[in-house]
């Protein structure tokens, strides 16, 4: 497969030349896997490199297809959450933090099936997401993509790109699917969600999906070390730690559960040996 590295570097150069004369331009690091590109590969995407495919294949080999199962489970739970938010909950503003590369059935596509005027801000720290996102969304006035780090939620909420699409005084939903487990304990993931929740107006929502270190017989330090060594991050946390992400919110039924059990709709259900390693939940601010 031809590597689209040059195309990407050009896209990134183009974007940064427009925004700040090119001085902050990042390059795509092909010496090690990136979470966004490994995830893209595991979901069947094309925006990945040899180094990413090797890491993903290693994990799948060692854990009998577990890496693919976990990614598909996560993605489907996120898609069901967006359908619920745009449908039953009537949410029209979404901030998708750690959004990953555009793939099939993206958040804005699902939301736009319900209301074409729904607005989505995609945020990811990986420059490859910015490059592909800008290309995909070039003509979309309801959707934008920004490069930012989840560890600083104020910088995301206060960014001009966010303010251009999201009225922070009206209810909004934050989506953090499989991103908080890429933050270290020092990054304080519970502090990140606390700050987001503090700034939410009443009627807003938080949806997260996380790796669980309890329940599955292979979950724990060894699996965590393997994931971190292959993709650079992926910290498994306990039910209690994950529950704390929602302090100050009311649970949306069915609360914090295995991701497959979060409002399942056949034939969406993945159901496999790794089902107990991913939990999902949605909180609502009264
Ligand atoms: C496993 S992917 C999940 C993508 C998407 N949320 C989904 O559920 O389909 C995790 C994404 O989080 C991004 N990410 C990891 N740490 C981040 C951080 N500190 N700030 C912003 N994005 C981050 C990665 O670059 C990657 O694209």
Residues above pLDDT 90, as percent of the chain: 80
- Return d(Cα 32, Cα 234) in angstroms, integer: 15
Task: For ligand 1, say whether the CB of 150 is within 6 Å of any of its atoms.
Answer: yes
230 token code pair: 């292959």
- Tell me what the mean pLDDT of segment 181-188 comes to: 98
Give residue 5's pLDDT band: very low, low, confident or very high (50, 70, 90): low
pLDDT tens digits, one per residue of 228-257: 999 999 999 999 999 999 999 999 999 999
- With CA atoms as reference, report the closest residue to 99 among 185, 40, 186: 40
Residue 104 is predicted with a pLDDT of 84
How far is ligand 1, taken at its centre, from the CA of residue 253, in Å?
25
- Tell me what the mean pLDDT of segment 168-180 comes to: 98
Phi, psi at residue 142, to the nearest 5°? -105, 0
pLDDT tens digits, one per residue of 270-282: 679 999 999 999 9
- With CA atoms as reference, report the closest residue to 209 among 180, 183, 237, 241: 180
How far is ligand 1, taken at its centre, from the CA of residue 98, in Å?
3
Which residue ranges form the domains of the chain, and what is each CATH number?
64-284 (3.40.50.150)
pLDDT tens digits, one per residue of 106-134: 999 999 999 999 999 999 999 999 888 88
Query: Relative to the CA of 126, which ligand 1 atom is closest?
Result: 25
pLDDT tens digits, one per residue of 81-90: 999 999 999 9
Collapsing DSSP to helix, strand or coil, 124 comes out as strand
- Return d(Cα 262, Cα 209) in angstroms, integer: 10
User: Which is more confidently placed, 30 or 100?
Assistant: 100
- Tell me what the mean pLDDT of segment 133-155 comes to: 88
Task: For ligand 1, say whether the CB of 183 is within 6 Å of any of its atoms.
Answer: yes
Give residue 1's pLDDT band: very low, low, confident or very high (50, 70, 90): very low
Task: For ligand 1, say whether the CB of 33 is within 6 Å of any of its atoms.
Answer: no
Residue 137 is predicted with a pLDDT of 77
Q: At residue 162, does pLDDT exceed 70?
A: yes
Residue identifier of the C-alpha nearest atom 5 of ligand 1: 99
Residue 23 is predicted with a pLDDT of 56
- Tell me what the mean pLDDT of segment 126-145 comes to: 84
Residue 189 is predicted with a pLDDT of 98
- Tell me what the mean pLDDT of segment 55-73 comes to: 97
Residue 2 is predicted with a pLDDT of 42
How far is ligand 1, taken at its centre, from the CA of residue 48, in Å?
15
Strands (E), the chain: 93-97, 119-124, 143-147, 173-177, 205-211, 250-251, 257-258, 278-284
């Amino acid at each position: 497969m031809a590597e689209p590295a040059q195309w990407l570097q050009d896209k990134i150069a183009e974007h940064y030349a427009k925004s700040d004369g090119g001085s902050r331009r990042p390059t795509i690091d092909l010496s090690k896997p990136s979470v966004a590109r490994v995830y893209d590969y595991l979901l069947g995407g094309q925006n990945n490199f040899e180094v990413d495919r090797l890491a993903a294949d290693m994990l799948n080999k060692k854990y009998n297809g577990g890496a693919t199962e976990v990614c598909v489970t996560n993605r489907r739970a996120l898609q069901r959450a967006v359908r619920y938010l745009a449908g039953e909950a009537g949410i029209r503003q979404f901030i998708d933090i750690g959004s990953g590369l555009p793939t099939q059935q993206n958040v804005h596509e699902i939301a736009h099936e319900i209301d074409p005027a729904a607005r989505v801000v995609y945020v990811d720290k990986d420059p490859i997401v910015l490059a592909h996102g800008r290309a995909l969304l070039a003509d979309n006035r309801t959707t934008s993509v920004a490069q930012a780090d989840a560890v600083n939620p104020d910088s995301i909420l206060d960014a001009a790109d966010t303010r251009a699409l999201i009225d922070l005084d009206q209810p909004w939903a934050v989506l953090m699917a499989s991103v908080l487990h890429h933050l270290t304990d020092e990054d304080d993931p519970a502090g990140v969600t606390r700050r987001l929740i503090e700034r939410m107006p009443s009627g807003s929502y938080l949806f997260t999906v996380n790796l669980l270190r309890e329940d599955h017989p292979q979950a724990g330090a060894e699996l965590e070390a393997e994931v971190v060594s292959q993709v650079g991050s992926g910290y498994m946390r306990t039910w209690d730690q994950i529950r704390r992400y929602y302090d100050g919110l009311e649970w949306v039924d069915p609360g914090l559960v295995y991701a497959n059990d979060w409002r399942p709709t056949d034939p969406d259900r993945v159901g496999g040996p790794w089902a107990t390693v991913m939990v999902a939940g949605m909180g609502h601010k009264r």
